[in-house]
């Protein structure tokens, strides 16, 4: 039995968190004993307790950088690793990735896997802050990590270029979705004569996702098409909700943009959309893309990190530079006016979604774990890469 301890900062309602929970709940119990260690206060804490695995919540493991809390979290992680004696520690995202990998090294954990769901540094940061994150990732990757998993080729290429790892130590394993949940789900379809087209986005309202850009795009589309031709749904919540609400008031869009908050029923929500709009400034590869693809939606999104691995320009959607509000609005308006093209793009997208099967994601992680234990991790990484290419 291989004991695997997963470490993640906070169980918010996001792709990295949901996929980590799914992995913990669905690892083969005849071969693996999963443990989950996470910060407290997330929307998915109850789901974690119901995952059928041992769960440890740490108050000190928080999203924001704070020397006192981070030091306390490091000490707590070391203590729990020494008590639990996992054969593998698997960390997720930047904050938990740094603290968890160093704690595993201090505690003498034999094998450490790190999943890259995007990086903690991005172009919008101050130069010194970005440089510090890069140096810390490089140092931690070289000294404290046995193998890496990336949710996108773009993240893996960037990590290799920055010296975080050698390419042979990294696997591409997409952030999966339960494709079966979308079986029989179809978008709203052509609007009746005079009826509105629905443009939706599902995301945390935080700087990474640039939700104010969504509002600006929506206002421009409404001006081009007419206010009776289109409506918008921005599903999610977060620290930028006040700014989003202010932008809606500034644009006079109170009657056209719905803010339903967090939604768990994503298949049903996607069914109400005609177009998915995604305005991120940086990203790993959001699983909202394969969710939209499985629904049969065309996608208009910013061309950041792994977006082009899911969206084929002009075939399943359109990609524009981050921050290009005018370009995004032009593409959305054109699709809103062309139901035939929307259906064609959505049908094509559905043929490409099998690469994001969530159960295949778990099986690939299992093979990587067994390769580490057997001393053949390089073979497991190579096999995973070959499977993805196929």
Claim to verify: residue 144 and residue 203 sit in the same structural domain: no
The pLDDT > 70 percentage for the chain reads 93
Tell me the pLDDT tens digit for each residue of 198-213.
999 999 999 999 999 9
How far is the C-alpha of 317 from the C-alpha of 308, rounded, in Å? 10
User: Which CATH number does the domain housing residue 230 bear?
Assistant: 3.40.50.2000
pLDDT at 389: 47
Claim to verify: residue 171 and residue 183 sit in the same structural domain: no
Task: Say yes or no to pLDDT of 375 above 90.
Answer: no
Claim to verify: residue 119 and residue 242 sit in the same structural domain: no
Tell me the pLDDT tens digit for each residue of 381-390.
545 554 554 4
3-state secondary structure of 207: helix
How far is the C-alpha of 185 from the C-alpha of 60, rounded, in Å? 41
Tell me the pLDDT tens digit for each residue of 117-139.
988 888 778 999 999 999 999 99
Claim to verify: residue 384 and residue 305 sit in the same structural domain: no
pLDDT, mean of residues 78-100? 96
Claim to verify: residue 284 and residue 338 sit in the same structural domain: yes
Claim to verify: residue 122 and residue 168 sit in the same structural domain: yes
pLDDT, mean of residues 311-315? 96
Claim to verify: residue 35 and residue 162 sit in the same structural domain: yes
Claim to verify: residue 193 and residue 319 sit in the same structural domain: yes
Claim to verify: residue 205 and residue 324 sit in the same structural domain: yes
Task: Say yes or no to pLDDT of 192 above 60.
Answer: no
Long-range contacts of 48-52, Cβ-Cβ distance < 8 Å, separation of 24 or more:
48/11, 48/21, 48/24, 51/21, 51/24, 51/25, 52/25
Torsion of CA 79, 82, 83, 84, to 10 degrees: 120
User: Containing domain of residue 370, as a range?
Assistant: 2-176+357-389
pLDDT at 63: 84
Claim to verify: residue 348 and residue 384 sit in the same structural domain: no
Claim to verify: residue 305 and residue 378 sit in the same structural domain: no
Which residues, at least 6 apart from 32, have a Cβ–Cβ distance to it below 8 Å? 1, 2, 3, 4, 366, 369
Domain count, the chain: 2
Task: Say yes or no to pLDDT of 100 above 90.
Answer: yes
Tell me the pLDDT tens digit for each residue of 232-290.
999 999 999 999 999 999 999 999 999 999 998 999 999 999 999 999 998 888 889 99
How far is the C-alpha of 172 from the C-alpha of 139, rounded, in Å? 22
pLDDT at 213: 98
Average pLDDT, the chain: 91
Tell me the pLDDT tens digit for each residue of 53-72.
999 999 999 988 888 999 99
Claim to verify: residue 327 and residue 255 sit in the same structural domain: yes
């Amino acid at each position: 039995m291989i004991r695997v301890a997963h470490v993640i900062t906070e169980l918010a309602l996001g792709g990295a968190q949901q996929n980590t929970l799914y992995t913990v709940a669905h690892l083969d119990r005849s071969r693996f004993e999963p443990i989950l260690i996470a910060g407290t206060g997330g929307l998915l804490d109850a789901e974690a307790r119901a995952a059928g695995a041992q769960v440890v919540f740490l108050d000190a493991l928080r999203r924001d950088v704070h020397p006192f809390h981070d030091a306390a979290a490091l000490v707590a992680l070391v203590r729990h690793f020494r008590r639990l004696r996992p054969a593998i520690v698997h960390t997720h995202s930047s904050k938990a990735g740094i603290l968890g990998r160093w704690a595993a090294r201090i505690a003498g954990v034999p094998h450490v896997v790190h999943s890259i769901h995007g990086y903690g540094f991005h172009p919008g940061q101050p130069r010194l802050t970005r440089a510090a994150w890069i140096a810390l990732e490089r140092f931690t990757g070289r000294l404290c990590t046995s193998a890496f998993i990336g949710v996108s080729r773009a993240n893996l290429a960037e990590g290799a270029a920055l010296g975080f790892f050698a390419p042979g130590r990294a696997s591409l394993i997409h952030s999966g979705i339960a494709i079966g949940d979308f079986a029989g789900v179809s978008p709203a379809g052509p609007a009746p004569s005079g009826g509105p087209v629905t443009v939706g986005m599902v995301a945390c309202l935080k700087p990474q996702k640039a939700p104010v850009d969504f509002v600006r795009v929506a206002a421009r589309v409404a001006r081009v098409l007419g206010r009776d031709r289109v409506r918008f749904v921005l599903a999610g919540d977060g620290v930028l909700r006040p700014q989003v609400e202010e932008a809606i008031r500034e644009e006079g869009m109170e009657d056209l943009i719905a803010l339903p908050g967090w939604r768990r029923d994503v298949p049903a929500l996607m069914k109400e959309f005609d177009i998915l709009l995604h305005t991120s400034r940086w990203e790993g590869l959001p699983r909202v893309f394969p969710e939209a693809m499985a629904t049969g939606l065309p996608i208009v999104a910013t061309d950041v990190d792994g977006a082009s691995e899911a969206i084929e320009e002009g075939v399943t959607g359109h990609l524009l530079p981050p921050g290009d509000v005018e370009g995004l609005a032009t593409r959305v308006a054109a699709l809103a006016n062309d139901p035939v093209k929307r259906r064609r793009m959505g049908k094509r997208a559905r043929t490409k979604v099998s690469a994001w099967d969530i159960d295949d994601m778990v099986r690939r992680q299992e093979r990587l774990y067994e390769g580490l234990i057997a001393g053949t991790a390089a073979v497991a990484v190579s096999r995973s890469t070959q499977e993805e290419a196929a």
